[in-house]
Structure 1
Amino acid sequence: MFAICRDPATGEQYLETALSGHALLEHPMLNKGSAFSEAERREFGLLGLLPMSVTTPETQLARIYGNYKAKTTDLERYIHLISLQDRNETAFHRLISEHLAEMMPIIYTPVVGEACQNYSRIYRRPRGLYVSWPQRHELDAVFANVAESIAGGIDVIVATDGERILGLGDLGVGGMGIPVGKLALYTACAGIHPAATLPVILDVGTNNQSLLDDPLYVGWRHERIRGAEYDEFVEAFVVAVRKRFPRVLLQWEDFAKNNATRLLERFRDQLCSFNDDIQGTGAVAVSAALAAVAVKGERIRDQRIVMLGAGSAAMGICAQLVAAMMLEGATESQAMGNICLVDSKGLVHDQRGDLDSFKRAYAQPLTRFAGRENQCSDVISLLETVELARPQILVGTAAQAHAFNEAVVREMAAHTDRPIIFPLSNPTSKCEAHPADLIRWTGGRALVATGSPFADVHHDGRYVRIAQCNNAYVFPGVGLGVIAAQATRVTDTMFVAAARALAELSPVHADMAAPLLPSLDEVRTVARQVAVAVAEDAARSGVAPRLPREELERRIDERMWTPRYLPYRRVRPERCRG
Structure 2
Amino acid sequence: MSFFRILTTGFTRRTSISRTQQSNVECHRNSCNHDTIRVPIEVVLSDKCNKSLAFTLEERQRLCIHGLMPACVRSYEEQMLAIESNFHSFETNVARYRYLRALRQGYERLYFQFVSKNVQIVLPIIYTPTVGVACTIYGMLYRGITGIHITKHDRGHIKQVLGNWPEQSQVKAICVTDGERILGLGDLGANGMGISVGKMELYTALAGIPPSLLLPICLDVGTNNKMLHEDPLYIGLRDKRMKGDEYVSFVDEFMESVVETFGRETLIHFEDFATPNAFMFLNRYRDCYCHFNDDIQGTASVGLGGLLGIQRITKKPLEEHIILFAGAGSAVMGIAYLLKTELMARGFTEEEAARNIYIYDQGGALTTGRRDIPENLVVFAKDMKKIKKLEKLVEKVKPSIIMGATSAPGLFSEKIIRTMAESHERPGIFAFSNPTNKSECTAEQAYQFSDGKAIFSAGSPFPPVEFNGKRLTPGQANNCFAFPGLVLGTMTVLADRMPDEIFLLAAHELSKFPTDEDLAGGRVYPLVKQANEVALKIGVKVAQYLIENGFAKRPLESAEVQEYISKNSYQLEYGSALAETWKYPEMKPHPSTAPFEKKLKGKK
Normalising by the residue count of structure 2, what TM-score does the alignment of the two structures yield? 0.88
- 1:148 to partner: Cα distance: 1.1
2:136 aligns with one of 87, 108, 117: 117
Distance 1:335 1:52 in 2: 68
Distance 1:27 1:240 in 2: 29
Structure 2 counterpart of 1:261: 279
- 1:485 to partner: Cα distance: 2.0
Three-state SS of the structure 2 residue aligned to 1:137 is: coil
1:563 aligns with 2:581: no
Structure 1 counterpart of 2:99: 80
- 1:451 to partner: Cα distance: 0.4
Please tell me whether the aligned partners of residues 25 and 33 of structure 1 are also in contact (alpha carbons under 8 angstroms).
Answer: no
Distance 1:259 1:312 in 2: 10
Q: Deviations over 1:191-211 (max 9, x none)?
A: 011121111000001100000
Structure 2 counterpart of 1:451: 459
Three-state SS of the structure 1 residue aligned to 2:370 is: coil
Q: Deviations over 1:328-373 (max 9, x none)?
A: 332221111221110101001000122221232321111xxxxx3x
Alignment of 1:434-449 (within 5 A): 434-449=442-457
Three-state SS of the structure 2 residue aligned to 1:218 is: coil
Distance 1:135 1:14 in 2: 36
Structure 1, 541-550 or 288-297: larger mean CA deviation: 541-550
- CA-based RMSD: 1.8
Structure 2 counterpart of 1:297: 315
Query: Unmatched 5+ residue regions in structure 2?
Result: 12-38, 581-604
- 1:566 to partner: Cα distance: 1.9
**Structure 1 counterpart of 2:482, which letter?**
V
Three-state SS of the structure 2 residue aligned to 1:66 is: helix
Distance 2:559 2:416 in 1: 50
Structure 2 counterpart of 1:466: 474
- 1:5 to partner: Cα distance: 4.9
Work out the percentage of aligned pairs sharing the same amino acid: 35
Structure 1 counterpart of 2:344: 326
Aligned length: 550
Three-state SS of the structure 2 residue aligned to 1:120 is: helix
2:187 aligns with one of 145, 158, 170: 170
Distance 2:56 2:434 in 1: 44
Please tell me whether the aligned partners of residues 421 and 450 of structure 2 are also in contact (alpha carbons under 8 angstroms).
Answer: yes
Please tell me whether the aligned partners of residues 204 and 210 of structure 2 are also in contact (alpha carbons under 8 angstroms).
Answer: yes
Query: Unmatched 5+ residue regions in structure 1?
Result: 7-12, 367-371, 572-578
Three-state SS of the structure 2 residue aligned to 1:17 is: helix
1:132 aligns with one of 147, 151, 155: 151
User: Quick one: structure 1 residues 322 and 559, their matched pair in 2 at CA, closer, same or farther if it must change by over 3 Å?
Assistant: farther
1:142 aligns with 2:161: yes
Please tell me whether the aligned partners of residues 167 and 427 of structure 1 are also in contact (alpha carbons under 8 angstroms).
Answer: yes
Normalising by the residue count of structure 1, what TM-score does the alignment of the two structures yield? 0.92
**Structure 1 counterpart of 2:8, which letter?**
T
Structure 2 counterpart of 1:369: none
1:194 aligns with one of 179, 196, 211: 211
Please tell me whether the aligned partners of residues 98 and 141 of structure 2 are also in contact (alpha carbons under 8 angstroms).
Answer: yes
Structure 1 counterpart of 2:231: 214
Distance 1:184 1:73 in 2: 21
Structure 1 counterpart of 2:178: 161
Distance 2:170 2:297 in 1: 26
Structure 1, 353-362 or 436-445: larger mean CA deviation: 353-362
1:51 aligns with 2:70: yes
Please tell me whether the aligned partners of residues 301 and 328 of structure 1 are also in contact (alpha carbons under 8 angstroms).
Answer: no
Distance 2:354 2:299 in 1: 18
- 1:388 to partner: Cα distance: 1.6
2:8 aligns with one of 10, 17, 33: 17
- 1:424 to partner: Cα distance: 0.4
Three-state SS of the structure 1 residue aligned to 2:203 is: helix
Alignment of 1:332-351 (within 5 A): 332-351=350-369
User: Quick one: structure 1 residues 456 and 510, their matched pair in 2 at CA, closer, same or farther if it must change by over 3 Å?
Assistant: closer
Distance 1:16 1:127 in 2: 20
Three-state SS of the structure 2 residue aligned to 1:298 is: coil
Structure 2 counterpart of 1:104: 123
**Structure 2 counterpart of 1:273, which letter?**
H
Three-state SS of the structure 1 residue aligned to 2:429 is: strand
Distance 1:556 1:315 in 2: 33
Distance 2:494 2:517 in 1: 33
The higher relative CO (CA closer than 8 Å, separation ≥ 6) is in 1
Structure 1 counterpart of 2:415: 407
Larger Rg, first or second structure (1 or 2): 2
